[in-house]
Structure 1
Amino acid sequence: MTRQKYTGLVKSVLPRYPGIQVFSWNPLVKDEERTLYESAARKDGFDDFEFTERSETNELVRAARREEYVIVYYIHSLETNRPALGFDIASNSTRLKAITKGFNTGKLSTTGRITLVQETGNQFGILLLLPIYHQDVPLNTAEERRKRFAVEVLRIGQAIETALRGFSDSR
């Protein structure tokens, strides 16, 4: 999968579903692969790409070294969601709980209410994480299911407004 191929797959979907904030492709990356992923993203034109996480003061900082990461690696649309690119969603306990559930079950999982990395206002959001696998690959153990996610991001207020569009407030 390349960035261009990923964008081509998802860019036609967003206009049809205006309640969706963004789609992303989030691979599980082992620490020994980190440099490879960061270098590849820089070669793709993201000169300042690095794995990030939130600090104790809620600032985006370079992610601490750990055994593995689940990185926002491809994202569409990029323009308003740029801060999320490179974010290690496994660095946050609410997101990690959904990641663990998705990998353990091999099924769609969702986060609880979160503040999105790219949020500039005060809306909350949720992530819907769908594990992605290659065809004809065994998925009998949790380890075999630990690969990557397709992630749909919803801003809760925006999703509700979109769903209620066309309904009258009058009784």
Structure 2
Amino acid sequence: MKPWIKRTLFGMLGASLLVGGLSACSSGHGWHRGPMDEQSLTEMRGKALERVGSKLELDAAQKQRLEHLADALQAQRKAFMGDATNPREALQALVTGATFDRAGAQALVDAKVRAVQAGSPEVIAAMGDFYDSLKPEQQAQVRDMMSKRRGWMRHRG
């Protein structure tokens, strides 16, 4: 496999893990309460960055790159979510009639794909900058965590 393909795939995988972790934290505990507010998201983001920073023993420059990655992921999440305050309403609107609204579903998917495509270059660049700034032993830690399928967000010990 070509190195740039491998880097891109690794970057997308890492970004997916981080986005998944942030998404899980933002919605997993609050299904009955609705989406988290900005203050709660900011607090959880700070804790996640602190946890990652301590696990990998990041220096100041690496922490700054990690924060830039988190900013890019947060912007990507906002773009993906769009203006909807309640994403379930958009899905529920597809099944309100006698037939499934295929055109509405396709429009919803197209909007999400455009949002991901528009923000992906920045997320990939931020992930690449962060990963490339890590020392070889830190990179090995990241690979080891990923191979064990244990992310920072799920492991509490």
User: TM-score scaled by structure 1?
Assistant: 0.24
Greater helix share, 1 or 2? 2
Higher strand share: 1
| Higher Cα Rg, which structure | 2
TM-score normalised by length of structure 2: 0.25
